[in-house]
A and B are shown apart, each in its own frame.
Chain A
């Protein structure tokens, strides 16, 4: 009886946190001189009702210049809930970007104003690390762990 109670209790919800800053308001983070930084590389992920738009690294993905930005489309015609978004597809595209820019760790997420908060959180997960590809210690491969949230788009 007691053991079963404790086992059930152990399944209680546990919480964690995701750190972020607001670039327009937060203090700028100190730049680490040890890590190579590409001044032309500013990865932004727009979260829209049509899916994700990866801006600033498109030349890495398709070599077509800034006018063509890669898009990860919704699983359905228009995204409403978190289940409609292709988060795995986003991670896969960002893995390609990371392979070209291994020293970069910052990504800016720009959600549309009407996007649900849950979508933002799961997008941050997809941007931070690749949970399919793991290292020797079975830890997820980090992609862009420093996520900054920018003011949303109307």
Chain B
């Protein structure tokens, strides 16, 4: 009812000025509104499009009352800007959706790639394990068949090869956890402190717990003993750093123990800032020095 009255009022007013040509500004404003009202903004930012409509209505009313007046041109000019504003706000909404979709795709891709890496490692471990079994079975069969000393030697050799292959598969998985190197005691896995711990604390980050779970799973099946060593950079007091390095190494041990590794297999040491592996003068060097090293005794990165 109300709408009808408004419409008839507008109509009456317009009839009064039917002969007048609309100013250029009003023509532009009408076109701008028609464009935004037909575009995606009508769906994504309806409130803005409504404001543009109200501004255009004001301009139309002014045109009906005073076709030649400057106010009509001003209101038309403003109405065109409001339509452009609604259009731009609609675009911002669209960009926001694109951004969210891209973020989602990024996370999905990353997760797919991680899954693939885990699958690949698992597959190579299973392949190695199954070929070990076959080799061992074949050699044992051979030994039974001919029953001589040479065959037994071959069986032992096959056993050694099998053990080495299994180790190699283990290494492939361990390489996922951190940098690997050898020292006199065994193989050293270096975990970056920034990746594993909350800054300046011995609290494990959630992602690090996941990695350590996997490490426990991998090492749990072997019989190697481990030494866990904490290190810090040179900033801060010696006592604080010493204490932090011990607590960090302890946190790693506690987590591995919570996943089934027994305490008799694990030794913990803290060295504070006393054993840097890089220059403490640079941020990169300090980041490298903040670390936890897990020494797996008797293992080697290169088998021979």
* Chains A and B come from one and the same complex: no
